[in-house]
Amino acid sequence: MGKKILVVDDEEIVRKGLKIHLTKSGYNVEEAADGEEAIEWMKKNNFDLLICDIMMPKKDGWEVLKFVRSQTRTEDLPVIFLTAKSQDSDMFEGYERGANYYITKPFTKSQLLFGVNLMLGKERNPSY
Amino acid sequence: MKTLDRKRTILTLRWAVIILTCYLIFFGKGRITDPDWGHLFILAYIFSNLILIFLPQTWFSNPKFFYFLVVFDTGTVSLGMYLSERVATDFYLVFFLILILASVSRNFKLLMIVSGVTASLYGFLLYSWGLLGSEQSSSYILRIPFIFIMSAFYGYITQTFTKESQEQLVLSEDKYRGLFENAKEGIIILRNPDLQIADVNGEAGRLIGNPKKEVLQKDVVDLFDPLMRERALSFFEQVVKDGEGATDTLSLKRENGVTFEVDLSIKKIDLEDDSFFQLIFKDLTERRKLEKRIRESKRSLQAIVDGIQDSLFEQNLNYVILRVNRAVAEKTHLTYEQLIGRKCYEIYCRRTQPCPKCPATMTFQTKQLAHQTISDADSGTVSQISSFPILDDKGNLYSVVMYVRDVTEEQRLQEQLIQSEKLAGIGTLASGVAHEINNPLSGTITMAEAALEEDDLSVIRTYLGDIINCSQRINKIVTGLRSYSRIAKQDDRSLLDFNEVLEDSLKMVLLAVKRKPVEVVKKFQLVEKAKANLGEVQQVFTNLITNAFHAMEGREGVLTLTTRSLRDVVEVGIGDNGIGIPEKHIKKIFDAFFTTKKPGEGTGLGLNIVYRIVTKYGGTVDVESEEGLGTTFRLRFPIGRDEDGQENIGR
């Protein structure tokens, strides 16, 4: 059974792309369209990794991160920010606030899988 | 003496004469030569006195009437004496003595004494002649009171007359002396023809600085400034020769040596038996001082006016230029002389008629200050012309001051400012939009990569469909951004539907600021189209909507957009329920470079540009704000501006 990843992004096409690639790499993927939905998912399920956008309606990425770190059950959950905020300052802020990895949009499959594998301790895919 | 008293006195005296004469004629022991004549005489006398009773009292104060009375009475009394015949000779003597006494005397009291003495002397003579106690003695004795009364009568008349004429003389003398002494001008009376100083009034003495007595001893020519002696001499020579009046401006010398300028006029005054010259002069020192002060203030005013680098001139109600400053001369390359008297529109507009939009025309009608911005297509200059009314004391307009300021450069800078603020806005927008592009771009890349690895053609097709969708989204965003960033020319104006522009601007901002959901309430009415530059109106709307989003950050935002048509304006409202503007900032929000954002986050030009653009179209910007509750901006754009969109800026 593959590891469970929760993908949070308000863009459907982004979620779709993520799911295709991650599923192909053997992960189980669940989707959430905004922060609130993501928190609902996490309250009910355990995930091995969270891939989260920052700028989203209702609750944004920062709030989701805050929730993750505040719960004992999820406080060690690896979190990857996947965002259009591409400036270095944004990235530093992400790490400062407790993200484990930071991927900027637009991204490629290899960038994504590199980060995911890094977070989940999987061996490097020889195809990189 | 009162007129009533005089009439009564004269009548009483005359009745006394009549009674005595009657006695002398009818009851005297003397024989009457012709009784008929005697009766007639008595009747005439009584009748005349009766007439006198009915004569108006004012006649009695007339000297001519007095003379007539004296002649009449003297004649009548003489006739009476002639008719009484007896002792006519002595009577005549006495009578003439009285007349002489009366006419010589100017004093009633003295006359009475003299007549008393005369009467006593007569009585003594009668006595010494032995006529007293004789059969005729009673008539002789009665002559004594007669003499007395007659003396009193004539004496009274003479005295009254002399007294009156004296009084009048004194009165007129006083009057003229007063005039002479108190005159504001210096007056010197000169004898003809030797020009000796006969009299000097107070002002003349004061001006010359000498007591009157000393001036009287001087030669008139010595009163003048020694440098002007020759001129003064010839002035007087001419006057004496022609005997006519003359005027001149000469300098007199004060006792202390200081000279002062005077306006001098001389006039020959002819009396019946004499003539003299009246020299009147007025000190010009004060007037010269005033003239100097006026000249100085005129000069400094001209200097101030010339110092103004903008054109400034005054024109009358017929557009004729009355005064100009240096800038006018420099800018028109004409001299002051060439400008003054010409019509304003000939010089400035090379026209034969007043310009249709001339603010002066408006000022002529309203008496109010008026402004107008006029662009000259030939030279490409833009001028802001103001006309200020000048009113006389009664509040009537008699001229206007025109102030012409070349605002070409200012307008160009303003255009530049608007443009650069727009670029800065594009920068902000672009970074927001760039984020927005990243999503479909991510989709394109990931879906393409997925397609590469996929063998199932039908799946690949769905991936390609996704890629096309994403690309189209990207295209749409880029197109929107490009339409915004198009740097439209200033004159590029078209009829705009403000609803459409507002909608587009909102989309643009929504692309850039992706926040927590903001509810957008649109209350759009069908509004008339207004002529404006699309880019500028978009700039206004995006600035205000962006501000609204910033104000609502971290809140459940409600953005309210309204449009409606009012009489001749389109009103656009952009409201938020954000943090609001603090009271102390509300007055400054439209100032350039006023910002509450951190350095680097805002230029401080956004609202300033909004204000500039809206007022450029003759519109207004109002703001309502309450701290903590939100802010609403209301813009009003006029519709149906005149052709080139210039307007009267009456801020």
Q: Are B436 and B487 within one domain? A: yes
Strand runs (DSSP E) across B295-453, as ranges?
311-316, 321-324, 370-376, 381-391, 397-406
pLDDT in tens, A25-42: 899 999 998 888 999 999
**Residue that terminates a domain, selected from B256, B283, B310:** B283
Residues of A in contact with B445 (CB under 8 A): 17, 106-108
pLDDT value of position B383: 85
Beta bridge partners of residue B315, listed in sequence order: B321, B400
Q: Determine the residue among B437, B446, B549 to mutate to test chain A binding: the one whose Cβ has the most chain A Cβ atoms within 10 Å.
A: B446
Q: Are B302 and B424 within one domain? A: no
Residue B327 lies in a domain: yes
Contact (CB, 8 A) for B477 and B436: yes
CATH of the domain at B510: 3.30.565.10
**Residue that terminates a domain, selected from B283, B302, B332:** B283
Residue A107 touches partner B, C-beta closer than 8 Å: yes
HEC secondary structure over A55-101:
CCCCCCHHHHHHHHHHCCCCCCCCEEEEECCCCHHHHHHHHHCCCCE
Residue B651 lies in a domain: no
How many angstroms separate the CA of residue A97 from the nearest CA in chain B?
19
Contact (CB, 8 A) for B579 and B551: yes
- The residue segments making up the domain with residue B144 are 3-176
Residue A23 touches partner B, C-beta closer than 8 Å: no
pLDDT value of position B88: 44
Contact (CB, 8 A) for B89 and B68: no
pLDDT value of position A16: 93
On whether ipTM exceeds 0.90, the answer is no
Q: Under CATH, which number does the domain A4-120 receive?
A: 3.40.50.2300
Residues of A in contact with B443 (CB under 8 A): 11, 13-14, 16-17
Residues of B in contact with A15 (CB under 8 A): none
Q: Are B85 and B163 within one domain? A: yes
Tally Cβ neighbours within 10 Å of residue B197: 19
Q: Are B234 and B126 within one domain? A: no
How many angstroms separate the CA of residue B573 from the nearest CA in chain A?
26
Q: Determine the residue among A8, A13, A58, A107 to mutate to test chain B binding: the one whose Cβ has the most chain B Cβ atoms within 10 Å.
A: A13
Q: Are B461 and B397 within one domain? A: no
Q: How many domains does chain B have?
A: 4
Query: Do the chains contact at A57 and B450, CB–CB below 8 Å?
Result: no
The closest of B425, B421, B405 to B413, measured between CA atoms, is B421
Q: For chain B, count helices (H), then strands (E).
A: 19, 17
> Could you give the CA distance from residue B152 to residue B259 in angstroms, rounded to a whole number?
63
Q: Are B158 and B266 within one domain? A: no
Sheet with strand B620-626: strands edge to edge: B518-524, B557-565, B569-576, B630-638, B620-626
Q: Which residues fall within 8 angstroms of residue B566, CB to CB, at 6 or more apart?
A: B636
pLDDT in tens, B347-398: 877 788 888 888 888 898 888 888 888 877 777 788 889 999 999 888 888 8
Residue of A nearest to B441 (CA): A106
pTM for this structure? 0.46
Residue B387 lies in a domain: yes
How many angstroms separate the CA of residue B481 from the nearest CA in chain A?
18
Q: Which residues fall within 8 angstroms of residue B560, CB to CB, at 6 or more apart?
A: B520, B521, B523, B573, B574, B575, B576, B632
> Could you give the CA distance from residue B315 to residue B401 in angstroms, rounded to a whole number?
6
pLDDT value of position B645: 43
pLDDT value of position B156: 73
pLDDT value of position B643: 44
pLDDT value of position B443: 92
Burial class for B142, CB neighbours closer than 10 Å (0-12, 13-18, 19+):
middle
Q: Are B493 and B624 within one domain? A: yes
Burial class for B323, CB neighbours closer than 10 Å (0-12, 13-18, 19+):
middle
pLDDT value of position B388: 93
How many angstroms separate the CA of residue A11 from the nearest CA in chain B?
7
Residues of B in contact with A86 (CB under 8 A): 435, 438
Of A21, A55, A57, the CB nearest to B450: A21
pLDDT value of position B649: 36
Given CA atoms A107, A113, A116, A118 in this order, what sign does their dihedral have? Answer: negative
Residues of B in contact with A21 (CB under 8 A): 446, 449-450
Residue A108 touches partner B, C-beta closer than 8 Å: yes
Q: Determine the residue among B439, B467, B515 to mutate to test chain A binding: the one whose Cβ has the most chain A Cβ atoms within 10 Å.
A: B439
Residue A105 touches partner B, C-beta closer than 8 Å: yes
Residue A5 has pLDDT above 90, yes or no: yes
What count of CB pairs under 8 Å joins A to B? 69
CATH of the domain at B381: 3.30.450.20
Q: B220 versus A6: which is more confidently predicted? A: A6
pLDDT value of position A65: 92
Chunked into runs of 10 residues, chain B (651 residues) has average pLDDT values of 62 75 63 63 81 80 70 68 53 55 58 72 70 60 70 71 69 80 87 82 84 79 85 84 83 84 87 81 89 92 89 90 89 87 84 84 88 80 89 89 88 78 71 78 92 91 93 83 59 82 85 72 87 84 88 85 88 91 84 72 77 86 89 88 42 33
How many angstroms separate the CA of residue A91 from the nearest CA in chain B?
14
C-alpha distance from residue B396 to each of B341, B367, B403 (Å): 22, 8, 21
**Residue that terminates a domain, selected from B387, B406, B425:** B406
Q: Are B188 and B315 within one domain? A: no
Residue A55 touches partner B, C-beta closer than 8 Å: yes
pLDDT value of position B5: 65
Query: Do the chains contact at A55 and B514, CB–CB below 8 Å?
Result: yes
> Could you give the CA distance from residue B440 to residue B435 in angstroms, rounded to a whole number?
10
Q: Are B583 and B503 within one domain? A: yes
